[in-house]
Amino acid sequence: MKAVGSLAEVAELATSRAPLFVRFSAGPDADAAEVSRDHESGCELPGLSVNPLNPEPWFDRPVLHWVARQLVQYAHLGEEGRYAWVVAGREVGRGPDCEPLLADVDPVARIPDDVVREARALYDEVFDVGDDGA
């Protein structure tokens, strides 16, 4: 799995291939070695929780803004040995927060922490988040 070097590279991926998703975890090998579960109910999930990386048709801003937003929304999950990565796969359902669940996962690229920080800086610059943050 290659690593991207900038937020612009992630945005380029998001416009070149669909559907793509972003996931924060210990990586594809760790995810393949365990079963995903809903933390509250304990129910086994049929796939991995992900966030859409491709912009929705209604989003009339630059792709870079969408990608920054998608990375920032779950960046808090990038703690304790976890990182962001771009993934493709087959959507098999929705998780407890209505997030897509993927099976047949195909790792596309790793997103280094400095690219997530770049996303945060752009997010803070271009989105009106008010006093309550993201």
- pLDDT for the residue numbered 130: 65
Please count the CA atoms within 13 angstroms of the CA of 90 that sit on its side-chain side.
Answer: 4
Torsion angles phi and psi, residue 93, rounded to 5: 160, -170
pLDDT greater than 80 at residue 123? yes
CA–chain centroid gap for 20, Å, is: 9
**And the tokens for 2?**
């290659």
Helix (H) or strand (E) holding 116: helix 113-126
Looking up tokens 């801003």 gives: 61
Overall average pLDDT of the 61-80 stretch: 87
pLDDT greater than 90 at residue 2? no
Q: What is the pLDDT of residues 42-67, one digit of tens each?
A: 999 999 999 999 999 999 999 999 99
14 close to 63: Cβ distance less than 8 angstroms: yes
Among the ranges given (27-31, 69-73, 76-80), the one the predictor scored with the smallest mean pLDDT: 76-80
Which residue(s) pair with 109 in the sheet?
A: 2, 86
pLDDT greater than 90 at residue 1? no
